[in-house]
Amino acid sequence: MPEIILETKGLTKSYPMSGGKELSVLEDINIQVREGEFVSILGPSGAGKSTLLRILVGLTTPSKGEVLYHGIPLPKAYPKIAMVFQSFALFPWLTVLENVELGLKSQGLSDDVAREKSVRMLDIVGLDGFEDAYPRELSGGMRQRVGIARAIVVEPEILFMDEPFSALDILTADNLRGELLDLWIKKKMPIKSIIFVTHNIEEAAFLSDRAIVLSHNPGRVKADFFIDLPHERDKNSREFKHTVDRIFTILTRPTKEVSFLLEKERYQFLPHVKIGAIAGLIEMVHDKGDRVDISILASDLSMEVDDIFPLIEASVFLGFGEIREGDFIITDMGRQFSEADTLKKKELFRTTALNNIQLLKQIMHVLQTTSKHRMSEDFFLEILGNHFTPDEAWNQLETAIDWGRYAELFAYDYDSGELYLEEEEVVEK
């Protein structure tokens, strides 16, 4: 796994207010940023995104907690970082070249070396020929190119960007996003990680590999997840739109409804098989001495191996069996299941399903934490839609409903399309 460059531990920030009260802006922020990550930080206005960024770069001190670079806390650490601001923050009395050279000279580089590096960097960001211009002579997009050149010329390990494109018109912002990505992906700049604050969901979905969503008042990490789409991302593709919808859902729903998404990411593919068929298979293999060759089993049942495989896969997921050297072997749990009466079977199934089946765990978590202990199937289909096609999302949910009802974990109201807990299943918190 790539090295952790930056880490925060229990970061908390509050500001004094009138009347001796405190405004709690950030609370218990624990994040790790590894080499190679392009991380977006999102959250509603006032969630503390800029405050977090300022703490990470050492411009603001936290009220509690610490920021570590390569394991060394600020201010003892001297991280190699640079920042790009929304407002460009160029010195108006310096030329484009002088603005870029400044950081290098303050690092003690000679005039010649600083000039050579700066000219090369201006060329990389498309400002060849504008070295002697003054910021006021440039468009907003060109000024931000200078801002980017000035930040990356010092070869920071982490580049921090605070809404760098939000003051630009749509087309210019889009161009600059594409160019930033080009520099990053093609490693035209020696930066190990980018931390990017934005309001813009589509921008985060387009640029970053990981999104950290802050909640508001106080700012806590509501979700921290990977955006697993290859670059170049097509904004019209289904996957991209799903990613945008997903971030939107996380931003707009209460924390408790999205908390189970934090566990997420790897979704099991549930084989579409009925419990009766799983039970039949386990009992049959138990009768044959708990171990069978899968191809012999298939021919005994006059089935193809491909047809029997979903049943075997489901049994393995549920902990009733395992596959070894082409054989299907019943586990202790599988033996107990095959010998149990109906009531005991349901009980065993309930235990193993909750331990092993992610989707059932998530459904139960949602039903336990929502106030009415009911949730529309559409909610789960929406989540599953981030991982499966619409048809497959429905198949997955249908299988989970079948298994969940057999285990008497929850019930399903066919009229309203809602999953709900029956009274005895409600766990008081």
Binding site residues, ligand ATP, CB under 6 A = 15, 23, 25, 43, 45-51, 199
Residue pair 65/28 in contact (Cβ under 8 Å)? The answer is yes
Tell me the C-alpha distance between 117 and 120, whole Å: 5
Residue pair 265/226 in contact (Cβ under 8 Å)? The answer is yes
Looking at the Cβ atoms of 23 and 305, the one nearer to ligand ATP is 23
Q: How far is the CB of 67 from ligand ATP (least distance, A)?
A: 15
Q: How far is the CB of 217 from ligand ATP (least distance, A)?
A: 8
Q: Is 88 exposed, middle or buried (0-12, 13-18, 19+ CB in 10 A)?
A: buried
Looking at the Cβ atoms of 49 and 220, the one nearer to ligand ATP is 49
Q: How far is the CB of 98 from ligand ATP (least distance, A)?
A: 30
Looking at the Cβ atoms of 54 and 350, the one nearer to ligand ATP is 54
Looking at the Cβ atoms of 49 and 222, the one nearer to ligand ATP is 49
Three-class DSSP category at 44: coil
Q: How far is the CB of 21 from ligand ATP (least distance, A)?
A: 12
Residue pair 68/143 in contact (Cβ under 8 Å)? The answer is no
Neighbours of 335 (CB within 10 A): 15
Q: Which of 212, 218, 223, 216 is nearest to 257 (CA)?
A: 223
Residue pair 404/360 in contact (Cβ under 8 Å)? The answer is yes
Looking at the Cβ atoms of 255 and 336, the one nearer to ligand ATP is 255
Tell me the C-alpha distance between 295 and 327, whole Å: 8
Q: How far is the CB of 17 from ligand ATP (least distance, A)?
A: 8
| First-residue to last-residue Cα distance in the chain | 37
Q: Is 188 exposed, middle or buried (0-12, 13-18, 19+ CB in 10 A)?
A: middle
Q: Is 187 exposed, middle or buried (0-12, 13-18, 19+ CB in 10 A)?
A: exposed
Q: How far is the CB of 216 from ligand ATP (least distance, A)?
A: 8
Q: How far is the CB of 48 from ligand ATP (least distance, A)?
A: 4
Q: How far is the CB of 9 from ligand ATP (least distance, A)?
A: 19
Q: How far is the CB of 60 from ligand ATP (least distance, A)?
A: 8
**CA-based angle 334:338:343, to the nearest 5?**
110
Tell me the C-alpha distance between 352 and 400, whole Å: 14
Residue pair 311/273 in contact (Cβ under 8 Å)? The answer is yes
Distance of CA 51 to the CA centre of its chain: 21
DSSP letter assigned to residue 310: H
